[in-house]
Amino acid sequence: KGDVVHAVIHNADWKSARIEGDLTSGTDIAQARGNLRLGMSQLSDLNRLLGSTLQGSISGDAALTPVSGHTHAKINLAAHDIVAGGVTTNGKLTATGTMDALDVHLDAQSPAVGGEPASVTAATRLNVGGHQLQLASLEAKYHGQTVQLLSPATVSFADGLSIGDLKLRAQQALLELDGRISPTLDMRASLKQVKPELVNAFVPGLLATGTVQANAELQGSTAAPTGKLHVEATGIRGANDAARGLPALDIHADAQLMANTAKIDAKLTAGSASHLTLAGNAPLAADGAMDLKLAGNLDLGLLNPLLEAGGKHVTGTLTVDTTVTGAAAAPEIGGTVKLANGSARDYTQGINLTEITGQFAGSHGTLEIQSLTAKAAPGNVSITGTIGVLQPHIPVDLKLTAKNAQPIASNIITANLDADIHVSGTAREKLEVEGKMRVNRANIEIPSGFPPDVAVLDVRRPGRGPPPPPEKPLVINMNVTVDAPRQILVKGRGLDAELGGEIKIRGTSETPVVSGNFDLQRGTFTLGSSQLTFSYGTVTFNGQGLKKKIDPTLDFVAQTQVLEVTATVKITGLADSPKIELSSTPDLPQDEIMARLLFGESAAQLTAVQVVQIGAALAQLGGGGGGLNPLVKLQKTLGLDRLTVGSDSNPTTGANNQTNSGYSVEAGRYVSSRVFVAVKESTTGTSQLVVDVDLTKHLKLQTRLGSGSGSTTTQGTTPENDPGSSVGLAYQFEY
């Protein structure tokens, strides 16, 4: 008949596809009848036709039987190892019933979707003629979570697409959808009670606390929506250990959608001192224009839980009053950001900056540092320049100036300096650092004891791989000259020396090349009650210390003559792990050399107490006995360059010809770069004022003004221990 089609397929093959059966149908599909079997063992046969990358196989059959004027269908379809988009799926679909009430059951599984197994089970009723799907049940499992349909829902595709009363739950979270999606948009949607447990199931270790909710009422079309959107996240805290110390974040955002533009009003609160608002218009299309304003206050102390694990601490308040305008692809930043009451400390590096204030302005994608100053007591540090934060490669042009500043004060190095440094280049590729620093004064402290060189462990948490290496590491080229003509003071473990010189830092930050050195101006080495004068000394900066950073390298030699023996002390190696060697001519054991230095006699003539003192002195040379040295702490507190306590070098003879010995204290400091003043007091009643004036690099004027008490007679008086008054010249040179 003209309105009936009857097809008989005895055997149809194409590559791995096969179809057979017979089918009779008229204009009304509800009257169709017949049987059909199909299969395709290699879906990849379709790839050249479809431009796809399918793999796997399918098989199925359909039986259509007329019953009481309607066609009853029984359909089975199976998919085996289907691979699409990198995801492998196995599934089975069955359908039974009439064309206006076809019960469809779907059961599909995948061993790995994003690395996790997934499955979907659904039961629906399809009305083919009415173009409607009634969703009776749905259960999806993924990342150990189960998403369930709470009540029956409908999906209509008769005139576009619409969803009626869809409610899905996962843990406490509830998603509701109701309305039309196309051809026009009239949709109501809400998402409630999204908790960290659900978020962490998909993004492990992201949140510790908080709740996320959202709702929307949308009209217009998917291409140009209108309506309103509200999102709020309250009590948000990160799950990592450092972030747990941060105050909870509260975010409230409203958006009024107006076809191609969204009017935004968002607020962020973190603790009691941090509040930011974002308001204005944002584009919904890529070529749209922005007109946003960001304003508020931000407490920098919020960062400390993240920084303190690395030995850093910051304070301060940022006052933000900025605008973002222009196209999304090339935004323009305007307005200002002000920093007040700031401080920055790096305890591991000894950096301490206080009273930090600054003002920043934005223009054409560039952040201009109009002023940024900090107190590095007793001086200050300032930075000016520009950073192209929204420009390609982030160009940088900064000038750093320091005046009488002491930005570094650690247990190894404390430095007061002037600086004029220029930084230029791009922050994502290469920076050039050049300029000059003048060190007004620097203290290099040698610790009393040294820790072992402890390896830094690469700690990785379970389930987390190593961080990826940077695609292109930043290169920092350096061309800096450090000028320090005087007052490089090296102290500790008996060493007391002053040096001066110049070094040049070249190369890169990863592999710096340091040339030049600091040479000895004066120096002594105290061992017990003996003091050795250095004949040679230099400090270079080409070593890698215990912390794997540039560290001063020492090379000092001191000698003295005692009991026909020339004793020599050599101090070499890195400042945080120096090597101190004791030798003599003629060659003697360590305890014999120490006995002569400390007590002026051989070890065989020492008392038990003196032997213990020798052991303590040898331990000092080896770095033992480390701990709190109250003398060093007092010296730093008083701001002295020299503070020593020892036996009185001027024993006196009093009544009954008895020898009076005691102790002496010497304290002094530089009052200018060339004048050193000290006061020496002893328990035997003598006192002395010392003034040394450096006339030239080698010539020194030495003045001593002393007084004694009682009727005393000084034995063994020398220029070094004379408690009286004198004026003299000293000339020093290297040979």
Q: State how far the Cα of 614 lies from the Cα of 529, in Å rounded to an integer.
A: 11
pLDDT of residue 295: 94
Q: State how far the Cα of 279 lies from the Cα of 257, in Å rounded to an integer.
A: 14
pLDDT of residue 529: 54
Structural element, H or E, at residue 217 = strand 207-220
Higher-confidence position of 18 and 351 = 18
How far does CA 73 lie from the centroid of its chain? 64
Summarised one tens digit per residue, pLDDT across range 208-263 is 899 999 999 999 998 889 999 999 999 998 887 766 677 889 999 999 999 889 99
What's the rounded mean pLDDT across residues 164-188? 94
Those residues with Cβ within 8 angstroms of residue 458's Cβ, 6 or more apart along the chain or in another chain = 466
Higher-confidence position of 606 and 119 = 119
As a whole number, the mean pLDDT across the chain is 80
pLDDT > 90: percent of the chain = 34
Question: Model's pTM, two decimal places?
Answer: 0.60
Asked if pLDDT for residue 179 goes beyond 90, the answer is: yes
Query: pLDDT-derived band of residue 355, with 50, 70 and 90 as boundaries?
Result: very high
Summarised one tens digit per residue, pLDDT across range 449-474 is 544 444 444 555 555 556 555 556 77
List, as own/partner pairs, every contact residues 355-363 make where C-beta atoms lie below 8 angstroms and the sequence separation is at least 24, other chains included.
356/316, 360/336, 361/334, 361/335, 361/336, 361/337, 362/322, 362/332, 362/333, 362/334, 362/335, 362/336, 362/337, 362/389, 363/332, 363/333, 363/334
Q: Are 563 and 600 in contact (CB under 8 A)?
A: yes
Highest mean pLDDT among 11-20, 131-140, 389-398, 464-473: 131-140
pLDDT of residue 522: 84
Beta strands in 284-387 (DSSP E): 289-299, 312-327, 330-346, 351-363, 366-376, 379-387
Least confident piece of the model among 68-77, 165-174, 595-604: 595-604
Summarised one tens digit per residue, pLDDT across range 470-524 is 556 778 898 999 898 888 887 876 778 888 888 888 888 777 777 888 888 888 8
What's the rounded mean pLDDT across residues 556-582? 79
Asked if pLDDT for residue 595 goes beyond 70, the answer is: yes
What's the rounded mean pLDDT across residues 149-178? 94
Upper half-sphere CA count for residue 367 (Cβ side, 13 Å): 17
Of 524, 581, 575, whose CA–CA distance to 553 is shortest?
575
Q: State how far the Cα of 150 lies from the Cα of 26, in Å rounded to an integer.
A: 40
Query: pLDDT-derived band of residue 359, with 50, 70 and 90 as boundaries?
Result: very high
pLDDT of residue 697: 62
Q: Are 568 and 594 in contact (CB under 8 A)?
A: no
pLDDT of residue 456: 45
Q: Are 566 and 585 in contact (CB under 8 A)?
A: yes
Asked if pLDDT for residue 187 goes beyond 80, the answer is: yes
Asked if pLDDT for residue 735 goes beyond 60, the answer is: no
Q: State how far the Cα of 134 lies from the Cα of 231, in Å rounded to an integer.
A: 30
Of 553, 487, 485, whose CA–CA distance to 514 is shortest?
553
pLDDT of residue 371: 92
Q: State how far the Cα of 185 lies from the Cα of 179, in Å rounded to an integer.
A: 8
Upper half-sphere CA count for residue 14 (Cβ side, 13 Å): 7
Q: Are 523 and 496 in contact (CB under 8 A)?
A: yes
How far does CA 533 lie from the centroid of its chain? 46
Q: Are 704 and 725 in contact (CB under 8 A)?
A: yes
Query: pLDDT-derived band of residue 616, with 50, 70 and 90 as boundaries?
Result: low
Pair of tokens at residue 477 = 């080229």
Q: How large is the angle between the packed helices 590-599 and 608-621, nearest 10 degrees?
A: 110
Q: State how far the Cα of 549 lies from the Cα of 78, in Å rounded to an integer.
A: 65
Find where tokens 């990849």 sit: 44
Q: State how far the Cα of 97 lies from the Cα of 464, in Å rounded to an integer.
A: 51
pLDDT of residue 536: 83
Those residues with Cβ within 8 angstroms of residue 553's Cβ, 6 or more apart along the chain or in another chain = 539, 540, 541, 542, 543, 572, 573, 574, 575
Q: Are 458 and 486 in contact (CB under 8 A)?
A: no
**CA distances to 16, 49, 196, 241 from 204, in Å:** 43, 41, 10, 14
Structural element, H or E, at residue 159 = none
Q: Are 267 and 204 in contact (CB under 8 A)?
A: no
Asked if pLDDT for residue 655 goes beyond 70, the answer is: no
**HEC secondary structure over 85-145:** CCEEEEEEEEEEEECCEEEEEEEEEEEEECCEEEEEEEEEEEECCCCEEEEEEEEEEECCE
Q: Is the dihedral of CA 451, 454, 459, 465 positive or negative?
A: positive
Q: Are 265 and 248 in contact (CB under 8 A)?
A: no
Higher-confidence position of 675 and 613 = 675
Please name every residue paired with 516 in a beta bridge, in sequence order, or none if there are none: 503
Asked if pLDDT for residue 438 goes beyond 70, the answer is: yes
Q: Is the bond preceding 485 in cis, omega lying within 30 degrees of 0?
A: no
Asked if pLDDT for residue 296 goes beyond 80, the answer is: yes
Q: Are 19 and 38 in contact (CB under 8 A)?
A: yes
